[in-house]
Chain A
Amino acid sequence: MGARVAGVGLLTGWGEGPGALPDDAVVAAAGRAVLPLGRPPLDSERFRRATRECLLGVAAVNAMLADAGLERDAIRGQGTALLFVTAAAYAASNAEFVAGAASPARTVGGLSEERRGAAGTLHFPYTAPSALSGEVAIEFGLTGAYVILVGGAPAAIDALWQASLLLAQGRCQRALVLVVETFVECEALWRRARWTLPPPLVETAACALLEAGDTAAVYRAVAAGSLPTAAERRAGRTLAAEPLVALALARAAGEPAVRLTGSWRGRTAGIDLAVAGHAARV
């Protein structure tokens, strides 16, 4: 048994969906260092402590459900695995907690006043990367297998592989690979890293739904090459979200299969995946 991608939700600093991506992110950014995503309008009482990143995770799953043509109940329960990946989406909450410790009025790392707002000092558990996936799990009732990876694009490929493995072994019926990357609160920090991560950094929340399929995923834990991918050229620097940007582009183009690669800290990984709705094999 293999796996296939049955839906991809994509929100970026360029807008919603792959259609919002420019042809050349560097040109379109026109010198902007960070392209932000707004705070999704999900400010119910249940989300009173949730960070912007948490809400972006929820919004990405909603976008995936729309793309896959599914109701939210379709993913509820123990049959759905959740694999969350980020390189940096915890930095904002960490910065907020540090700022709260130093002084309630102090701004650290370019933290925005809007973010600090009325909530005051951040609730400590929200500094953990698992807070984001925890909020998503609560919102959609996801109680299946649960993995959280931290890293750049190869970590997302590792998560897609883990998802396909869980499906192949019958440890879940479907798997969500969720990636959120945010930068704006720590823009000063990222500016210092621009020699490694040249702009534009593009905030992204993306979610892929994988289901059991006929074609086994082909995982290359260590792959060759580290050239910029088409997804990076189109979207800009999205770190761990880059493979999901590529998935969204492939699905929008009606490609039956996709070969994904991603590089980070000198490692390149890759995976070949089938995309739902098409009969051809990888």
Chain B
Amino acid sequence: MAVLAAGVVTPLGPDLDSFWSGLLGGGDALTPIERFRTDDLRVGRGGEIKKLPAVATGVRSRAAALLVAAAADLRSRARLGAAPERIAVVVGTALGGVEELERALQGDGTPRRALDALYDAPAHVLADWLGARGPVLTVSAACASGATALGVGADLLREGAADLVVAGGYDILCRFVLRGFDVLRSLTRERVRPFDRRRSGLLLGEAAGLVLLARERDVRGPRLGRLLGHGSASDASHVAAPDPDGRGLEAAIHAALAAADVAAADLDFVSAHGTGTPLNDRIEAAVLRRVLGRRAAAIPVNSIKGALGHTMGAAAALEAIMCLLAAREGVIPPTAGFEEPDPACDLDCVPGAPRPASPRLMLSTSLGFGGCNAALVLEGA
């Protein structure tokens, strides 16, 4: 499937250009949270978007506002050239409209609030904003949601159920989720350091990332790249922790490679889930070493969560977009926060500075609560 264009809103900035330049800069957008109280939590920092683009003003919920902001960026780069009923929306989210649910449960708002509170509400707001009248799907595979949404979107195109698909993911930073991860002691008080020896946990972020997908044979003009294959698998191991051997992630990667008809040996670059937690990064590194085999040390592997925080449902979509930008621009963003290699994560983690490279075939990996694993295989234009 062709990826025609992308649009984002992230803590690094309101659009694709600021996202890309921020990633190349190697810094982070992790700041004290201002939108809600955090004084009773261990950690009050995250990748918060301080100011939403004007186009999102007045949108009913913050979750939907993020989607509209990303969609506005997308529409500034590509035309939705299909009949409205042939345009589908498929978005992934871990939290949906949970902030609205919290308000509704506390008796705030109108009857409409009750339905706004359901996790699929923001996707329908996006479809209405776009004028899309085709299928509207919400994927909620925890932090693997964005990858699965891109895969489901590609399936809709392949089967002729739509001619264009706006696919991606989103999630907001809200008190509900910050408190949850705080209780789990997953958040770090230090810098987020994916794959680094000193890594001590993650920080959360909020964002939305969308791509416009079309069948390759229908595309005449330029494209950003291609989604060649996707795969998913369940760990069947633990509700909150990844399988200790990463069997589900490995199965998802192999499924994606098979769907793409790509050999692991042909990969040029891997965008890892790379949360910065001791457990995730060790397991993921071991899986990547098994999958990549003898080439493991030679293939650059980065994580952008050190720059943005873990943006949950948006993460995989943003990482897929980053891969395609890396191929187009001929440079791989560094893993922000990675400085001291960990022997248990023996990979080329792109430290320090952007790396000139010409990746063509790329892998993006994702994991989430409930034993969710997903992988995407992408190709530069």
Which positions in A face B, CB cutoff 8 Å?
49, 78, 82, 87-88, 90-91, 94-95, 97-98, 101, 108-109, 121, 123-135, 137-138, 140-152, 154-155, 158, 161-162, 165, 171, 186, 189-190, 192-196, 219, 221-222, 265, 267, 269
Chain B residues within 8 Å of A98, by CB = 101-102, 105-106, 176
Bound form: Cα–Cα A242–B26 in Å? 50
Chain A residues within 8 Å of B142, by CB = 128, 130
Bound form: Cα–Cα A120–B344 in Å? 37
Which of A142, A143, A165 has the most B CB atoms < 10 Å from its CB? A143
Are the CB atoms of A149 and B85 closer together than 8 Å? no
Are the CB atoms of A134 and B370 closer together than 8 Å? yes
Are the CB atoms of A151 and B105 closer together than 8 Å? no
Selected contact of B155 from candidates A146, A151, A162, A265, CB within 8 Å: A162
Per-residue CB contact flags for chain B residues 91-118 toward chain A (1 = under 8 Å, else 0) read 0001010100110111000110111011
Chain A residues within 8 Å of B145, by CB = 148
Are the CB atoms of B180 and A95 closer together than 8 Å? no
Bound form: Cα–Cα A168–B229 in Å? 16
Nearest-neighbour CB distance to chain A for B127, whole angstroms, equals 9
Chain A residues within 8 Å of B18, by CB = none
Are the CB atoms of A144 and B239 closer together than 8 Å? no
- Interface membership of B137, Cβ < 8 A: yes
Selected contact of B233 from candidates A125, A140, A145, A154, CB within 8 Å: A145
- Interface membership of B237, Cβ < 8 A: yes
Are the CB atoms of B371 and A134 closer together than 8 Å? yes
- Interface membership of B308, Cβ < 8 A: no
Are the CB atoms of B139 and A108 closer together than 8 Å? no
Are the CB atoms of B237 and A78 closer together than 8 Å? no
Bound form: Cα–Cα A42–B224 in Å? 50
Are the CB atoms of A131 and B140 closer together than 8 Å? no
Are the CB atoms of A134 and B369 closer together than 8 Å? yes
Are the CB atoms of A171 and B255 closer together than 8 Å? yes
Are the CB atoms of B248 and A97 closer together than 8 Å? no
**Residue on B nearest A88 in the bound complex, by CB:** B118
Are the CB atoms of A97 and B176 closer together than 8 Å? yes
Chain A residues within 8 Å of B135, by CB = 154, 158, 221-222, 267, 269
Given contacts A101-B179, A130-B372, A192-B114, contact A148 B88 (CB under 8 A): no
Selected contact of A221 from candidates B134, B139, B372, CB within 8 Å: B134
Nearest-neighbour CB distance to chain A for B214, whole angstroms, equals 16
Are the CB atoms of B161 and A124 closer together than 8 Å? no
Which B residues, 232 to 250, have Cβ-Cβ distances below 8 Å to chain A?
A: 232-240, 247-248
**Residue on A nearest B145 in the bound complex, by CB:** A148
Chain A residues within 8 Å of B239, by CB = 49, 125-126, 131, 134-135, 138
Nearest-neighbour CB distance to chain A for B13, whole angstroms, equals 29
Are the CB atoms of B371 and A155 closer together than 8 Å? no
Given contacts A155-B137, A162-B152, A267-B136, contact A146 B233 (CB under 8 A): yes
**Residue on A nearest B114 in the bound complex, by CB:** A193
Which of A98, A142, A161 has the most B CB atoms < 10 Å from its CB? A98
Are the CB atoms of B176 and A150 closer together than 8 Å? no
Are the CB atoms of B162 and A130 closer together than 8 Å? no
Nearest-neighbour CB distance to chain B for A10, whole angstroms, equals 23
Beyond known contacts A87-B118, A98-B101, A161-B159: 18 more, CB 8 A cutoff: A95-B105, A108-B106, A109-B104, A125-B180, A125-B184, A127-B180, A130-B142, A133-B234, A134-B239, A134-B369, A138-B236, A145-B233, A146-B248, A147-B232, A155-B120, A171-B255, A192-B114, A267-B135
Q: 29 interchain pairs (CB within 8 A)? A: A95-B105, A109-B105, A123-B240, A125-B370, A126-B239, A127-B180, A130-B141, A134-B234, A137-B370, A143-B233, A143-B235, A143-B236, A146-B234, A147-B141, A147-B148, A148-B140, A148-B145, A149-B138, A149-B140, A150-B119, A155-B120, A158-B135, A162-B152, A171-B255, A186-B105, A189-B117, A221-B135, A222-B134, A269-B135
- Interface membership of B368, Cβ < 8 A: yes
Nearest-neighbour CB distance to chain A for B354, whole angstroms, equals 34
- Interface membership of B328, Cβ < 8 A: no
Which B residues, 63 to 96, have Cβ-Cβ distances below 8 Å to chain A?
A: 85, 88, 94, 96
Question: Top 7 closest A-B pairs, CB basis?
Answer: A130-B370, A134-B370, A124-B180, A221-B161, A193-B114, A125-B240, A109-B105
**Residue on A nearest B88 in the bound complex, by CB:** A221
Chain A residues within 8 Å of B251, by CB = 78, 143-144
**Residue on A nearest B105 in the bound complex, by CB:** A109
Are the CB atoms of A219 and B372 closer together than 8 Å? no
Per-residue CB contact flags for chain B residues 122-140 toward chain A (1 = under 8 Å, else 0) read 0010000000011111111
Bound form: Cα–Cα A158–B159 in Å? 12
**Residue on A nearest B135 in the bound complex, by CB:** A221
Chain A residues within 8 Å of B98, by CB = 94
Given contacts A134-B239, A147-B152, A196-B111, contact A97 B180 (CB under 8 A): yes
Are the CB atoms of B137 and A124 closer together than 8 Å? no
Per-residue CB contact flags for chain B residues 206-233 toward chain A (1 = under 8 Å, else 0) read 0000000000000000000000000111
- Interface membership of B265, Cβ < 8 A: no
Chain B residues within 8 Å of A265, by CB = 115, 120, 124, 136
- Interface membership of B332, Cβ < 8 A: no
